[in-house]
Amino acid sequence: MQRRTFLASLAASLAPRLTWADVGAPAFLAAGKRGEEFFLHGLTTTGTSLFRIPLPGRGHAAAAHPMRAEAVAFARRPGTFALVIDCARGAIRHRLTPPEGMQFNGHGAYSADGSLLMTSEVVAETSEGRVGLWDTARYSRLTDWPSHGIGPHEIKRLQDGRLAVANGGIRTDPVDRTKLNIPDMRPNLTLLAEDGTLLDQIELPDLHQNSIRHLALSGDRIAFAMQWEGDPAEPVPQLGLWTPGSAPILCTPPEAQAFTMQGYAGSVAATGDRFLITSPKGGALMLFDAGGAHIATHHRPDLCGAATAGAGFTVTDGQGAVWSASDDGLTSLATDKTQWDNHLVALG
């Protein structure tokens, strides 16, 4: 049995690595649930599923290798599995496990050349943030860096190799995820150099209960989506824009729509001059311009996944629909029996 396992592993490692073009050039990756089973899908720009690969449990987000038809699917945070999937063959190449006492926290990013995978992680007992580094030749663990905050969630690599980290600020129980420090939580948005050195960091002292969770990039500009843990009767913005070296801009909707998002932004996406956030709790999305001004609000139950598609946006909902979103409204692209999960990950 050991010999057969070794030979199978050797054969897999020697097999030619196919590109995303070889699997139909998907535009997005998305996790979802169909019946009682969980899958990772590759979707076209029109929402058609090109492949569907089983997952052992509910997925959260995925990271796409920049060249190979290979993705890492992360467990619903916090979790202890991340699966490296050969999307051309539908095979699991590796199952990543963080070091003892640590947990994955739902997101990851590849280096520009694909040789390195970076994963958001926490020390389970304290929620201290770490960024795990993995060599993608065999997905061996190299080291980890401090994220310089508590509870890191999404991480994004800028074009020049710098790494943005959304430190949510919430300390949680390692077993049942009970939130332990809401009164004095301190989220931040951190910028790391390619070697893990701290370059810059911002906090929002007047909104320290607004957990910074998700990120999108527009050149050197970082859009960050937040989830409010304070008084639900207090209206707060759920989107911020930050160019490192300058003060962040908070994007505030019109007073009449201040509670539309119900204090919760589930995903964020960015084009050159537009920023979009979704709220499954509010059943809505909002669009803002480059100056942070509100443009439009569109309603649809359980909207969450969001990504850039060319110069526009694609969004998904938990009822199986894929939509194109613009200033003018939502346009249906496709429907499926799959209940789409929180995130839509753009390739390229």
| Residues 201-259: tens digit of each pLDDT | 999 999 999 999 999 999 999 999 999 999 999 999 999 999 999 999 999 999 999 99
Burial, 81: exposed, middle or buried (Cβ in 10 Å; 0-12, 13-18, 19+)? middle
> Which of 216, 286, 280 minimizes the C-alpha distance to 258?
286
| Residues 74-107: tens digit of each pLDDT | 877 566 679 999 999 999 999 999 999 999 999 9
What three-state secondary structure class fits 30?
A: strand
| Residues 285-341: tens digit of each pLDDT | 999 999 999 999 999 999 999 999 888 999 999 999 999 999 999 999 999 899 999
Rounded mean pLDDT, 129-134: 98
Distance CA 302, CA 305 (A): 9
Give the largest Cα separation in the chain, rounded: 67
What percentage of the chain exceeds 90 in pLDDT?
87
Q: Does residue 56 register a pLDDT over 90?
A: no
Per-residue pLDDT, 79? 65
Per-residue pLDDT, 311? 85
Rounded mean pLDDT, 138-152: 97
Per-residue pLDDT, 77? 59
Distance CA 257, CA 235 (A): 9
CA dihedral (288, 230, 78, 225) in degrees, to 10, reads 10
Per-residue pLDDT, 130? 98
Distance CA 112, CA 158 (A): 9
Position 344: which residue type? L
| Residues 157-205: tens digit of each pLDDT | 999 999 999 999 999 988 888 999 999 999 999 999 999 999 999 999 9
Go through the domains of the chain in sequence order and give each one's CATH number.
18-346 (2.130.10.10)
Per-residue pLDDT, 14? 52
Distance CA 28, CA 64 (A): 9
Per-residue pLDDT, 75? 79
H or E segment to which residue 174 belongs: none
Per-residue pLDDT, 3? 52
